[in-house]
Structure 1
Amino acid sequence: MTQQILRHSKARKQTITTTPSRPYKIGIMSVEKPKVVFVLGGPGAGKGTQCSKIVDRFQFTHLSAGDLLREERSREGSEFGNLIEDYIRNGKIVPVEVTCSLLENAMKASGKSRFLVDGFPRNQDNLDGWNRQMSEKVDMQFVLFFDCSEDVCVQRCLGRGQSGSGRTDDNMDSLKKRIQTYNNDSLPIIKFFEGAGQVKRIDASPDADQVFGEVERVFLTSGF
């Protein structure tokens, strides 16, 4: 599998296409492409909390790129466990081939058709990798962007760490690196989607219920 990842990483980068959604076939049955909403925002913006509410209200399946990576890191016998641990501890972004493979496997295993992809794509390499591996397999709806001040994000993450979140990156050293990575790598991706008219911006500073009121409005007006 490592050789396959290396081959993918050398593939020529592509840009987003506007190819219309087409059904793909499994055996003799025609199945519509799964609908995907990207969920982006800084560390501590409340993405996980809001995704849980969306799952309950709109019957989406929540796929957290970070959670999938942490699960793979902890899985006994994983050939990528040490690599993922090193990237997460240093606030860096895990190679896209690993993340896309985990996301695709999770979609297939769920048997569902609506997905929240939380915390992805986080940089240009993520976006290019998604386009190579996944863009023709899914119907991307929009980007749900939780916009929150850095101070609020820091307070939330540190509070989460003190309450025993079990995450090795809920500490100040890792948090500074994560915020820097977000500002340098993720914000340009959000701006790219925004320029394409695909971003639904949510003010994530208020309490969770108030934020979800805005989220609910977005999904209802989008046909869900």
Structure 2
Amino acid sequence: MTTVLRSAKAAAILAALGLSLGLMNGVAQAGPPRHRECISPIFLGGSEQWRDLNQRYDVRERIIGPPAPATDDIPDPPGGPGCRTALAGEKWVRAVPPWITATQTEQAAFIAGFKSARYVIDAGTAHERSITVGPEILRSGTIPNDVQPPATRGLPYVVPVSPVLRPLRPGTHTSTLFVTMKERVCTGRGPAPGLSADCLEAGESEYPIADNGPFTVLTGPPPPTP
């Protein structure tokens, strides 16, 4: 019991520092929370269904998300900007910051102009692979009126959410999203939180995630069956 308590205390201290026991030892050995909840790292407030990306997008698997650096308007969510760890043997889904538009006209233009998405896993490595999907992955809606930052309240959005992706081996991985548009589209309001551009050109281009760093797959006990 004492050993367990000491390990738990050490893990809590490391978590507060943004580290993990596995990373400290040079090998990933400890897993993220076993419950699959990805709290939005770029929008806070609103209902639980809005804050939790799993609920918002109706995803049962682990979400690898799009944390953005904290700003005065967007503080770190409880526990820090997570959604960048998964367990070995665990299927996962890639979520990215939504494309927020000034009006429903720009939202409709994005949906009509969207041709396909290509998810590239571990680009430039011996394990690189990609999956291409169509407009069926798009989710759209309206941002609630009680979320942060206030400038986004009540605005339409559309976002690609990947299909379920197969498990990855323990270690550091990358996920890059490329979208193919039939024609040039813009938000009509400037870049959305978490994005570095407000227009996508015709043809294929990288989805402009401002903070698209790597994520980590950690060893640990098999994840519970959803």
Relative to the length of structure 2, the TM-score reads: 0.26
**Which fold has the larger relative contact order, with Cα–Cα distance below 8 Å and residues 6 or more apart in sequence?**
1
Q: As a proportion of its length, which structure holds more helix? A: 1
Greater gyration radius: 2
Q: As a proportion of its length, which structure holds more strand? A: 2
